[in-house]
Amino acid sequence: MSKKIIKIIFLFILNSQAEVWKDGEFLLWSYGKKTFSTTDFCFALRYENEKIGSPNCYEAGDWERDTTAALYAKWLNTNLDTRLKAEDLRPRNHHLLEKIRTLKDKNLLFSTVKDDKVWVLLFDETAAPKEIAVFPANLDSSQITKKIASNWFSSTPQARLSDSEREAKQKEPDKYYAEQPMHDFWIGVGTGWTGTYKTFNSKIKNYRDVKDSTSAWNFVEDSSPLYNVYIGGSMYDFIGFELELRRSSHKAKIDKSDDIYNELSHWNFNRYEFLLSLMFMAAYMPSPQIEIKPHASASVVYSFFTEDIALKSGFKGSESYEERFNFESYYRGVALTFGLRTAFFQNYAIDLRTGFANRGTSMLNQEKIGSSTTDFFIAAGLEYHFRWK
């Protein structure tokens, strides 16, 4: 990128928002040429954040007169580089660390000019710079302060803390841990697809005859849209239970070359399934408002079919129609599911899951229709969560 382009853009900012205090105090510490004024900075703060109250901006004369601080400022001016992390720029001198610690809730902004760029570093009572920004040197005081105020101090301000409140806050867990819910209850609705890993080419002849009756997919189409509703809960973001109802619709696989089906208008089956699942999960929070939970579950499945069949107008059902095959009253089995839940703002989530299930009859009834039926599924759901500690 050419120097001409570099001069007209705001080069980079590390972190997007600093902690903002209502009626806060700001110390401006310069090394070399002063690049922006206290007046412009306070005006920009009030302009960009109407809730910030009445901030006070001062020249940090004490810092500029301090010999140790002056040496650190010179060191910063020499070593500033966009490839460095904020932690690389933290002071090591004990006296300077103590001086930074006395800032408490004040904000210290260090500025210096290097290589035709204005560097601005924000310090609070912690050692390393909280924020770093670089601007083209041709920006004036009002332009620089406007960018700093809008990028670092535009969030909702907090009331300033007393010494005892600040001490208590420092002992709190970090914000990601503090906002991570321990217990969870959710309701969800979803849709997806169910199908099989292999092709079943069987056709029903004479309303009941197939080559192999072991799998239900020899009688009905295996591929179908899937709809589900579910409720669940978890403890400590580790273990939980879920109750789910699924519905899918499947056409009977009739042999259309068989003239006996000329009387038939339609023949479908709706499959309903209840799943009771034991879930295991882990929680990760890449940001305070986003939570990611990979999960796995093992389920007990109860499944049954309902029939939807009708004859064409004017036809009376044949003897074969009256003696057509029937599924068992219910099937039971197991399912394994793997998923990924992404929650937003604690209460809303998108859940993606996939897995497979096997259902059948008892080992003593292996000759029954559908005695071993296996399929896979993939689904996406929208969820609402209730969380508490």
pLDDT, tens digit, 9 for 90 and up, residues 143-162: 999 999 988 888 888 888 77
pLDDT at residue 181, as a whole number:
59
The tokens for 327 are 């599924």
The tokens for 126 are 């912690």
Number of domains present in the structure of the chain: 2
Residues 217 and 203: beta-carbon distance below 8 Å: no
Q: Are residues 153 and 294 in the same domain?
A: no
pLDDT at residue 8, as a whole number:
34
The SS3 assignment for 377 reads: strand
pLDDT at residue 68, as a whole number:
92
Distance CA 250, CA 233 (A): 31
Distance CA 219, CA 212 (A): 9
Residue indicated by tokens 């900075």 = 41
User: Taking all residues of the chain, what is their mean pLDDT, rounded to a whole number?
Assistant: 87
Q: Which of 102, 137, 172 is the last residue of a domain?
A: 172
pLDDT (mean) for 1-15: 41
Residue indicated by tokens 């049954």 = 304
Please, is 213 exposed, middle or buried when counting C-beta atoms within 10 Å of its C-beta (0-12, 13-18, 19+)? middle
Flag whether pLDDT at 378 surpasses 70: yes
How far does Cα 349 stand from its chain's mean position?
7
The SS3 assignment for 346 reads: coil
Please, is 9 exposed, middle or buried when counting C-beta atoms within 10 Å of its C-beta (0-12, 13-18, 19+)? exposed
Q: Are residues 111 and 54 in the same domain?
A: yes
Q: Are residues 153 and 201 in the same domain?
A: no
User: Position 284: which residue type?
Assistant: Y
Q: Are residues 65 and 168 in the same domain?
A: yes
Q: Provide the domain limits for residue 72.
A: 3-172
pLDDT at residue 166, as a whole number:
73
pLDDT, tens digit, 9 for 90 and up, residues 159-200: 887 777 777 776 666 555 555 557 899 999 999 999 998 888
Q: Are residues 85 and 223 in the same domain?
A: no
Flag whether pLDDT at 15 surpasses 80: no
pLDDT (mean) for 312-318: 90
- Please give the residue that has the higher pLDDT: either 197 or 296: 296
Flag whether pLDDT at 115 surpasses 80: yes
pLDDT at residue 163, as a whole number:
75
Q: Which of 133, 154, 172 is the last residue of a domain?
A: 172
pTM comes to 0.57
Q: Which of 142, 172, 202 is the last residue of a domain?
A: 172
Q: Kindly report the number of other CB atoms within 10 A of residue 260's CB atom.
A: 15
Give the CATH number of the domain where residue 336 resides: 2.40.160.20
Q: Are residues 119 and 224 in the same domain?
A: no
Distance CA 45, CA 149 (A): 5
pLDDT, tens digit, 9 for 90 and up, residues 201-235: 899 999 999 988 889 999 999 999 999 999 999 99
- Please give the residue that has the higher pLDDT: either 380 or 97: 380
Q: Are residues 74 and 218 in the same domain?
A: no
Q: Are residues 141 and 214 in the same domain?
A: no
Torsion angles phi and psi, residue 288, rounded to 5: -60, -25
pLDDT at residue 179, as a whole number:
52
Distance CA 112, CA 90 (A): 16
- Please give the residue that has the higher pLDDT: either 179 or 87: 87
Flag whether pLDDT at 350 surpasses 60: yes
**For the CA atoms of the chain, what is the radius of gyration?**
34
| DSSP state for residue 173 in the 8-state scheme | P
Flag whether pLDDT at 278 surpasses 50: yes
pLDDT (mean) for 12-40: 80
Q: Are residues 137 and 232 in the same domain?
A: no
Distance CA 98, CA 72 (A): 14
